[in-house]
Amino acid sequence: MIYLCTHFYDTLRMKKQDPDLLDNAVLSGFVSMKYLPRWIVLSMDVILSIIAFLIAVYVAGKIKIEPSASVSLNQIQRMIVLVSFQVVLFGLFHTYSGVLRYASFVDVTKIFFAIVLNVFVIGLINLVMTSLSKGVLIFYTELIVYGVLSFLFLLLIRLIVKTAYDYFTQRGDYITPVMIYGTKSAAIGIAKMLMSEQVGSKYKLVGFIDDDKNASEKMIMGVKVYHLNDDTLKKIIVKKCKSIIISPVKLNQVNTSNVLEKFIDNNLTILSLPPMNIWKNDIPSIGEIRSIPIGNLLERPQINISTDNIASQLKDKVVLVTGAAGSIGSEIALQVLKYDTKLVVLLDHAESQMHDLKLDLQEKYEDKNVTVFLGDVRNRDRMEYMMDLYRPDIIYHAAAYKHVPMMEDYPVESVQVNVLGTKILADLAVKYRVERFVMVSTDKAVNPTNVMGASKRIAEIYVQSLFRKLHATMNGTTTKFITTRFGNVLGSSGSVIPYFKKQIEHGGPVTVTHPEIIRYFMTIPEACMLVMEAGSMGNGGEIYIFDMGKPVKIVDLARKMIRLAGFVPEEDIKIVFTGLRPGEKLFEELLNKKEYTQNTHHPKIMIANVQQYDYDKVSVLIDKLINYSKLCKDYLTVATMKKIVPEFKSKNSQYERLDI
């Protein structure tokens, strides 16, 4: 009680200094108190027990049910005996150990048995003393009235504390009302966590949402279940809560529907939690963008690929992954390590990232035969040493420069890595009889408007024309060169998702180049599975493209990310349009006008029938291009690229003058 009075006195002193601070001070102080010390709880229980006894003495004196009974102790002595024994029983049952604001049926049961046992033992002593003609220790009327009143008082104080705490903490900014989407075991587990001590002051569960109409208006854990439809969403759900929590299991089920869109459009924050087996004491903050996997922002179902063909192809093979420290290369490496390979060689020139990758592999893949090789794909001697040392059977070529604005400033570097690096590895693949060479390309290679896209298109042209020439002259016994072409990858280094995320964390603004710019997106695992599936099905010379669904408007993606972070676009965080960057176009294509597709055994993967090039002619131009890049001749380099790829028309770039 002294503790509480001291806290109240401090708030009154604040009132004198600034009257407007009193309410906030009381609330913040009340919320910040995790629990009362045990001695305070025990002291309150003892005081209430004494009050109950005094009232019991008064009541017994008024009704005088036991006029003939004699008592061996005076009133003070009776109180000391009764309350002292009660304290002992409080200790045995740990009635003061529970947190008052989370008092439960178990706590009430402990209090009940502690008081009943006290009354029972004293009553038993009374019987013994009566049989010995010693009178009674305490009047039976006092004992019964005490038992009833003390139980009610102790129960009442806990209800008062619990109600007061709920009232003060569930106001304003102190708590977020949430609903849980789903009613299965995972949803129930989340609900239990929400009601636990660790998170009880952050979130208030106000209901469950279910797709089943029959579940509507039923109760789970004391809150209603609402059937999800447009009417319920707008009239009830939006008014009752600010956030929707979706379990990972449920999130996979709704990924193909427009349910997330409906929640976001109604300014509801969506939280997705880690799997229950790793979610211990913490809940992700509503400001964490990671709370929703970025793949759920795609307006299409996730692509699933059978791994049987990949497994049989990689069994007992030496696999080389270039660009292994990058977003795509590292994911390909992780995918490859799932299979029964003979050796996995990971190549990159980024020293720090390769060092981290090596340490990670040593820790997680001790049972795998995997090695890292530090080297640059532009260095032919280094690449030949590696090829001769490891003799790979399959190459996944992901090493590339990919950032459009950067490559627009440094076209010779783009050619050196994307064209020369690919040419060196392709030529060595033929020399060392590699079975398959799978190249990672991009949708920016289609009707390119920038140096990066054009360099990747030239790399495509080289490996395709090389395969056709060797296939015709070597009776089909040469390396199978296969190309995969896909759009932007969500979450990769330098991509828009982590860029927007960082801007949102800093309070904005979020910068978008143009209000109408759109892009195709896929997740990193999808991209890498596509590469590996293409490598398993290809016969050589193909360019595989991916059915990526509908393109996503970048400004819509930005708005979704802002809402998912718990903010309102344009109110909390502004969106600013900065203009198209050099080489950037409003929309990307997977095919140009001269190309068409043919189906494969996978409904989401197609083969692009592209324009064919004569190797003997195009290789002369490519060698000239590489020489210009070695001489650091930017304009001659870009001009030669445009000669090799006539559809390459620069946009918003200094090289537009070459198209005149």
What are the tens digits of pLDDT across the range 570-604? 888 899 998 888 777 777 665 555 556 777 777 77
Distance, C-alpha 180 to centroid of its chain? 17
What is the model's pLDDT at position 316? 93
- What DSSP designation does 19 have? G
The candidate with the shortest Cα–Cα distance to 458, out of 612, 622, 596, is: 622
In sequence order, the 6+-apart residues with CB closer than 8 A to the CB of 100 are 35, 36, 41, 157, 158, 161, 162, 165
For residues 441 and 539, membership in a common domain is answered with yes
Strand pairing category for 203-210 and 176-181: parallel
For residues 162 and 201, membership in a common domain is answered with no
The structural domain count of the chain equals 3
What's the rounded mean pLDDT across residues 539-547? 83
Which of 110, 204, 423, 444 is catalytic? The answer is: 444
From CA 122, how far away is CA 414, in angstroms rounded? 93
What 3-state DSSP class applies to 259?
Answer: helix
For residues 161 and 182, membership in a common domain is answered with no
- What DSSP designation does 274 have? P
502 classed as catalytic? no
What is the model's pLDDT at position 184? 78
The candidate with the shortest Cα–Cα distance to 589, out of 394, 445, 441, is: 445
Phi, psi (deg, nearest 5) at residue 575: -115, 125
From CA 335, how far away is CA 639, in angstroms rounded? 39
Lookup result for tokens 């200790």: 91
What is the model's pLDDT at position 7? 46
Which domain CATH number covers 247?
Answer: 3.40.50.720
Strand pairing category for 436-440 and 343-348: unpaired
Instruction: Return the amino acid letter for 122.
Output: I
For residues 84 and 183, membership in a common domain is answered with no
The candidate with the shortest Cα–Cα distance to 245, out of 180, 199, 192, 310, is: 180
User: Residue 221 above 50 pLDDT?
Assistant: yes
Let me know if residue 460 belongs to a domain: yes
From CA 504, how far away is CA 576, in angstroms rounded? 12
For residues 471 and 595, membership in a common domain is answered with yes
Phi, psi (deg, nearest 5) at residue 539: -105, -5
Facing residues of 116 across strands?
none
For residues 322 and 409, membership in a common domain is answered with yes
For residues 257 and 319, membership in a common domain is answered with no
For residues 180 and 161, membership in a common domain is answered with no
Q: What is the pLDDT of residues 36-49, one digit of tens each?
A: 677 788 888 889 88
Provide the 10 A C-beta neighbour count for residue 482: 24
For residues 350 and 467, membership in a common domain is answered with yes
- What's the residue count for the chain? 660
User: Residue 83 above 70 pLDDT?
Assistant: yes
The candidate with the shortest Cα–Cα distance to 81, out of 71, 94, 95, is: 71
Output the six-digit token pair for 21. 């601070």
* Stated pTM of the model: 0.64
Let me know if residue 309 belongs to a domain: no
In sequence order, the 6+-apart residues with CB closer than 8 A to the CB of 564 are 264, 269, 270, 289, 291, 292
Q: Which range scores top for mean pLDDT: 89-103, 125-139, 620-634?
A: 620-634
Structural domain of 85: 34-169
Q: Which residue did the predictor score with more confidence, 168 or 527?
A: 527
Instruction: Return the amino acid letter for 492.
Output: S
From CA 507, how far away is CA 552, in angstroms rounded? 24
For residues 615 and 475, membership in a common domain is answered with yes
What is the model's pLDDT at position 427? 96
Let me know if residue 535 belongs to a domain: yes
Q: Which of 268, 286, 304 is the last residue of a domain?
A: 286
Strand pairing category for 605-609 and 543-546: antiparallel
For residues 371 and 251, membership in a common domain is answered with no
Q: Which of 235, 268, 286 is the last residue of a domain?
A: 286
C-alpha dihedral sign at 380, 383, 388, 391: negative
- What DSSP designation does 201 have? T
From CA 143, how far away is CA 510, in angstroms rounded? 71
- Do the Cβ atoms of 414 and 407 come closer than 8 Å? yes
Let me know if residue 195 belongs to a domain: yes
Let me know if residue 368 belongs to a domain: yes
- What DSSP designation does 410 have? -
For residues 152 and 254, membership in a common domain is answered with no
Let me know if residue 158 belongs to a domain: yes
Q: Which residue did the predictor score with more confidence, 652 or 436?
A: 436
Q: Which of 124, 149, 169 is the last residue of a domain?
A: 169
User: Residue 229 above 80 pLDDT?
Assistant: yes
Let me know if residue 660 belongs to a domain: no
User: Residue 2 above 50 pLDDT?
Assistant: no
Distance, C-alpha 369 to centroid of its chain? 31
From CA 30, how far away is CA 293, in angstroms rounded? 36
Instruction: Return the amino acid letter for 64.
Output: K
Q: What is the pLDDT of residues 323-351, one digit of tens each?
A: 999 888 998 999 999 899 999 999 999 99
Identify the band that residue 14 occupies on the pLDDT scale cut at 50, 70 and 90: very low
- Do the Cβ atoms of 496 and 488 come closer than 8 Å? yes
Let me know if residue 572 belongs to a domain: no
From CA 488, how far away is CA 38, in angstroms rounded? 58
Instruction: Return the amino acid letter for 195.
Output: M
Lowest mean pLDDT among 298-307, 430-439, 542-551: 298-307
